[in-house]
Amino acid sequence: MNCYIYIRVSTDLQAQEGFSLDNQKRACVEYAKAQGYDVKKIFTDDGRSAKTIERPALKELLSLVYKEAIEALIFYKIDRFARNIVDFGKIRKELKAKGIKMLSVMEGDVSEGLTGGIYALVAEWESEVNGQRTKDALMQKFREGWQPYSQYHGYRSVGGKDEKKTCEPDHYVAPIIKELFELYSTGNYSIVEIQDWLSAKNILSRNGTVVSHSVINTILRNPFYYGLIRWHGQSKMGKHKPIITKELFDTCQYVLAKHRSFILRKRKYDYLLRGFLSCFYCGQRYTAEPHPNHSVANPTVIHYYHCPKRDRNGCPSEYVEATRLEELVEKEIEKMEFSQTFIDSVVNKTKEIIEENRKNVNSDRQTFINQKMALETKRNVLEDALLDNTLDRETYKRKHSEIEGKIINLEESVLDIENKARVDIDLIEEVLTFTRNINKGYVEAPQFLKKYYLRFFFEKIVVKDREIYKVIPTPIFASLKNSHEIIIRGTRLRS
């Protein structure tokens, strides 16, 4: 006589309580042997709920029942097989029509009579009770200030099991997630570029491929990272340690909302004002392109901004030389200056950042230096052992090569830390220059940084008859103007 065996476990807790797959398999095989059955195949559903029959292994089993001859189906316990009395009754009826017995290691033959149905009804009731108990536990966890499910990039689970788990920032991944937000907030990075950057940091998906566009988008939109937790329509500040500030999160939301304007595409000509200019007459966003200069004395290229609907749909806008509009924008920036109070605030914050940066750099550098010294000591011991002839040459070469590789990696890590510190100081220098003298900072900034400064000030620049007609300020710029943190000298633009 032949039989199939079906086993299932849905949670780690069940495995610990004696329902592990190995325990079920062992018990079912022994039971089959004692009943005189040969096991034809064992079907396993790992981590699957038994509320419905939509389980891969069970579906495969039921499909094979109609193709292969068996006399019995053996499982450990009814609640391992089904927790829905309707499904249990349906399957039992079909197997009975095929002359197949349903045998439970714990409950015996449940092919007929009320016994099997009662067990299935009890299993269904237990499933509902356990489900409600889990829901209540998760809601209580939320009330206590913890996200019920917190498997987010940058965090690791700590303490307790299942609903009792909390989380804390992961030592390696959390700083990378924070930097991800910081990079994206500048508006200089597309999500595709963020994907490449994460890959270079060895942050990959679970299957080892590049982190998907949707996952990065989800990270950027998740308020959990600044401390907010949400559950069933409710939200509150949680007890977990945030990775970023709400201000940084809000900036990223603004960039996401305006991503068409903010993404820097790789073009042959990277026009400074592309994405900012719009036509007074039709509202269309200006484009830019080069035109050949046919002058024999100066056979170069002239660059123009223009409305793409020029001479169409009645739009009378004109071509404007790129240098002219860029100079006009520069003159408007020349009128701006930050208040002394704002400058002092930035300087004080900068001092804090520099001091914190120095502490982190020195601490990380010393850690790597200590690890390098320990490896060098091991290397010296190996070399002494080779000289004393207490270590064979092959073992020496293998271990020595491993240590040398680790030392080289540590030396590169020290250089990376020092380079990052230099980059941070360079950025701080740019910020201070810009804060103390907006025009000087803007004029001397490289092209990519000028774009960032423009995004700080202008949502849109409206052009009429080759002149700047008005500007639409960004919410940040408008707020600073309203609070008098930015002072506009001379005639103000209409906004």
pLDDT digits (tens, 9 = 90+) for 374-400: 888 888 888 888 888 888 888 888 888
Residue 468 has pLDDT above 70, yes or no: yes
pLDDT per residue over 225-236, tens digit each? 998 988 877 888
Q: Tell me the pairing of strands 38-46 and 2-9.
A: parallel
CA distances from 183 to 31, 189, 454 (A): 61, 7, 17
Angle at the Cα of 403 (from 399 to 407), degrees rounded to 5?
Answer: 170
Would you say residue 261 has pLDDT above 50? no
- The per-residue pLDDT for 394 is 82
Q: What is the pLDDT of residue 127?
A: 55
Q: What integer pLDDT is reported at residue 258 of this predicted model?
A: 62
Q: What is the pLDDT of residues 89-115, one digit of tens each?
A: 788 888 888 889 889 888 888 887 655
Identify the pLDDT of residue 84.
65
If pLDDT is split at 50, 70 and 90, which confidence band does 202 have? Answer: confident
Region of 178 (left: φ > 0; alpha: ψ -120 to 50; beta: rest) is: alpha
Q: Is position 190 annotated as part of the catalytic site?
A: no
The domain 2-140 belongs to what CATH superfamily? Resolvase, N-terminal catalytic domain (3.40.50.1390)
Of 244, 179, 226, nearest in space to 424 by CA: 179
Mean pLDDT value of segment 181-203 = 86
Q: Is 205 exposed, middle or buried (0-12, 13-18, 19+ CB in 10 A)?
A: exposed
The backbone region for 121, taken as left when phi is positive above 0, alpha when psi lies in -120 to 50, beta otherwise, is: alpha
Lowest model confidence (mean pLDDT) among 28-32, 221-225, 373-377, 418-422: 418-422
pLDDT, residue 494, reads 47
User: Sorting pLDDT into bands at 50, 70 and 90, what band is 304?
Assistant: very high
pLDDT band at 326 (very low <50, low <70, confident <90, very high): very high
pLDDT at residue 48, rounded to an integer: 60
CA distance 89 to 119: 11
pLDDT at 225: 93
When pLDDT is averaged across residues 404-417 and rounded to a whole number, the result is 73
CA separation for the pair 120, 350 (Å, rounded):
67
Cβ distance 224 to 154 under 8 Å? no
Task: Report pLDDT digits (tens) over 9-52.
Answer: 765 444 444 467 888 899 999 999 999 999 999 998 876 655 56
Residue 315 has pLDDT above 80, yes or no: yes
Q: Can you give the residue ranges of every domain in the chain? A: 2-140, 155-262, 280-326, 338-445
More confident position, 132 or 88: 88
pLDDT band at 455 (very low <50, low <70, confident <90, very high): confident
Could you give the CA distance from residue 444 to residue 465 in angstroms, rounded to a whole number?
29
Give the range among 54-58, 126-130, 162-166, 284-288 with minimum mean pLDDT: 126-130
Question: What's the token pair of residue 365?
Answer: 């550098």
Q: How does residue 264 score in pLDDT terms, banded at 50, 70 and 90?
A: very low
Q: Please tell me which of 225-229, 434-438, 476-480 the model is most confident about, judged by mean pLDDT.
A: 225-229
Tell me the average pLDDT across 293-306: 75
Residues 6+ positions from 261 with CB-CB distance below 8 Å: 275, 276
Beta bridge partners, 468, equal 463
Residue holding tokens 């990223």?
252
**The amino acid at 296:** V
**Mean pLDDT estimate for the chain:** 79
Cα separation, 278 vs 287, whole angstroms? 9
Fold of 155-262: Hect, E3 ligase catalytic domain fold (3.90.1750)
